[in-house]
Structure 1
């Protein structure tokens, strides 16, 4: 009897142990299945972010069929935002934000209009002919200023629709009369050697959204007292023109970039009569007296709205004065290289606000021309004008005479981009002027 009880106890313990092992195995299997289900759900959710919503019975009427397309659209929007000027995929890392935006793309010639997204400063929103078709200039002649031939530069710039104007080959264009432009035009000389010289030059009058890039503009003459066409439907009598390289008159959203200018009858670039939202960048100025005038006259108060950015330019050999000469308005002179002047670099009258930041000023040997600034006044009113030098590199005895109370609001209106260290000016302006660009390679 005692043996039977012991055997029964042993069997009971064995059965209980087997039951416990079985239960544990089932639990582990359930845990494993549940774990795998969770992992599967996670993988599915990674492949399709809408899976969790769909599994809860939510409506799928607005589900995205092609998430890759949406991602591509987002990336495009990012590229088109202000972040486009950060150093990105095509960047050489030169530090020049305009050049870093487009120059390192070996297929720049297939994406020319990308340039319109690379503007800086007060004229950064100038889109030129970005939204239009390409127009190829194949004929350098300018035989008739009233009825220009198709294929000529004059025929291109007067059209009343956006155009991105390029050139079929190298050419010298000698204009008989002013080249009067229409709105929403880009003149793009990249990839060829284009000179506008020995005749009239460019007039931007009462229009908007113009980009001028990659032109050699020199030896401009006085012309006028003639009929000139300004649009497909209008031509009129033009009095004597001053002979400026580029004359900006009552216009806005203008960007003049990477041109080489010299030896014109009047100014190389003038902006007057209420012009504003202008950027003058990466240009190479040489051999000229009165380089740049910004403002019509001391009495023309409409120019108080004027805002001009002058950035990354090289003011080189043979220059005398007006780099620029300002009247009313707000002027940001930033990261330019001044290697030559005979009289002075920056001048003004009529209470302009001049914000000079991160420039390199190399004074001439003449001991009486060391001062960067010149105020064209005969009274002490200039002491109230807001002119400042911030982070400029002053060499060979150069000195900048500041003035004004340093009003924050005035300098805010004369600030258009972040200045870089003046020690970088040499690199920032090393390629100022017309670039040598070849198709299929970086420019």
Structure 2
């Protein structure tokens, strides 16, 4: 089983956010969608987004799935209505589904049940899901959710116990890439990765203005493999993320920011719960209370992180794992993370363009 779990990382292409980070480090002024070029002189990133594949654990060959590439083998369709979005997202065939308008969920809180082999991507910055989100159930695999704004199912109760309305909920899915989205102001969580969801990569997202951002667990098993990198957690009270019973949790180059003088105050940042083994590298914590905490049963290795105006618990201990035994990756310098992530995360005009 260990041989299968290790799998083989796909030869990855550096996606737009990484290219933007490299440009920022070089002192260039190119912003997403404004002249940024893909690696290797392949031309504008806007011309190649359909060929993008996941990095991190979502790139590993396992469970009969070779990496995560979504619906690239199917037709590309553009949707502007809830009926069309649901029609193609739930279909058995592969599709690249380009969301080209703000689509309001009806009823409020609706989570579309996405089927395997799908890419759902916002067209530039115009693709929005308002008042609901997406659900990936047991066995659903090879799904990309990218370049979308998912927002505003909030019902007025900060710690809402009645409305389980998430932006993205995954229950037993595998090989999923959540990338370059803006997730905010939902009644419950922004991302809930539950019930042994594995081979998941969450990258270059903005998670903000929420009580509970990113919860992982809801299982007694310790089998999940998850990569979380280059995300901006801002104005989020808890679950940033809360990572329970993860076999391999690799977090790097994330930016956690709690602004002073606002109504939202952080209670904790990265949390290794249960039997989680976590490697936390080159992230930047600004203003957070209890920036890094762990249970006595968890292991957490920290390397190269920066802490500015933080307070409370900042913990590590035990041995975890070597992420490079599973896939290749490169680290941005931690002191550059705020500028790289704030400029490169979230939806961009260079992704989802069909012209």
- Into which bin does the TM-score normalised by the smaller protein fall? 0.7 to 0.9
**Structure 1 residues 309 and 433: CA distance shift in structure 2, 3 A:** same
- The correspondence for 2:174, drawn from 249, 252, 262, is 252
CA deviations 1:202-221 (Å, max 9, x no partner) are: 10112000001111111236
State the match for 2:62 in structure 1.
none
CA deviations 1:52-97 (Å, max 9, x no partner) are: xxxxxxxxxxxxxxxxxxxxxxxxxxxxx7264399xx9884379x
**Structure 1 residues 397 and 112: CA distance shift in structure 2, 3 A:** closer
Q: Give 3-state SS (helix, strand or coil) of 1:191's partner.
A: coil
Which segments of 5 or more consecutive residues in structure 2 lack a partner in the other structure?
1-9, 26-31, 60-66, 156-161, 259-264
State the match for 1:358 in structure 2.
282
Alignment of 1:19-418 (within 5 A): 82=11, 84-85=13-14, 93-94=22-23, 101=38, 108-116=45-53, 119-124=54-59, 125-138=67-80, 140=81, 142=82, 149=83, 152-167=84-99, 169-176=100-107, 177-198=110-131, 200-206=132-138, 207-220=140-153, 242-297=164-219, 300-301=220-221, 304-316=222-234, 318-329=235-246, 330-340=248-258, 342-364=266-288, 369=289, 371-375=290-294, 382=296, 384-398=297-311, 400-404=314-318, 406-407=319-320, 409=321, 417-418=329-330
**Structure 1 residues 244 and 103: CA distance shift in structure 2, 3 A:** farther
**Structure 1 residues 154 and 393: CA distance shift in structure 2, 3 A:** same
Structure in which a larger fraction of residues adopt helix: 1
Structure in which a larger fraction of residues adopt strand: 2
How many Å separate the matches in 2 of 1:315 and 1:331?
A: 17
Q: Give 3-state SS (helix, strand or coil) of 1:343's partner.
A: coil
State the match for 1:422 in structure 2.
334
Q: How many residues align?
A: 310
**Structure 1 residues 100 and 85: CA distance shift in structure 2, 3 A:** farther
Cα drift, residue 287 of structure 1: 0.7
Which segments of 5 or more consecutive residues in structure 1 lack a partner in the other structure?
1-80, 143-148, 223-239, 377-381
Q: Give 3-state SS (helix, strand or coil) of 2:338's partner.
A: helix
Q: Which has the higher contact order (CA 8 A, sep 6+)?
A: 2
Cα drift, residue 397 of structure 1: 3.9
How many Å separate the matches in 1 of 2:85 and 2:256?
A: 33
Cα drift, residue 414 of structure 1: 8.4
**Structure 1 residues 417 and 171: CA distance shift in structure 2, 3 A:** same
Q: Give 3-state SS (helix, strand or coil) of 1:94's partner.
A: helix
CA deviations 1:206-262 (Å, max 9, x no partner) are: 20000011111112369xxxxxxxxxxxxxxxxx97211100111111000000011
Q: Give 3-state SS (helix, strand or coil) of 1:436's partner.
A: coil
Cα drift, residue 305 of structure 1: 1.3
How many Å separate the matches in 2 of 1:197 and 1:189?
A: 13
How many Å separate the matches in 2 of 1:403 and 1:333?
A: 16
How many Å separate the matches in 2 of 1:202 and 1:282?
A: 18
TM-score computed with the length of structure 1 as normaliser: 0.63
423-432 vs 270-279, greater mean Cα deviation: 423-432
**Structure 1 residues 100 and 309: CA distance shift in structure 2, 3 A:** farther
**Structure 1 residues 321 and 104: CA distance shift in structure 2, 3 A:** farther
How many Å separate the matches in 1 of 2:195 and 2:188?
A: 17
Q: Give 3-state SS (helix, strand or coil) of 1:203's partner.
A: strand
TM-score computed with the length of structure 2 as normaliser: 0.77
Runs of 4+ with deviation above 3 angstroms: 83-87, 90-93, 98-112, 409-416, 436-441
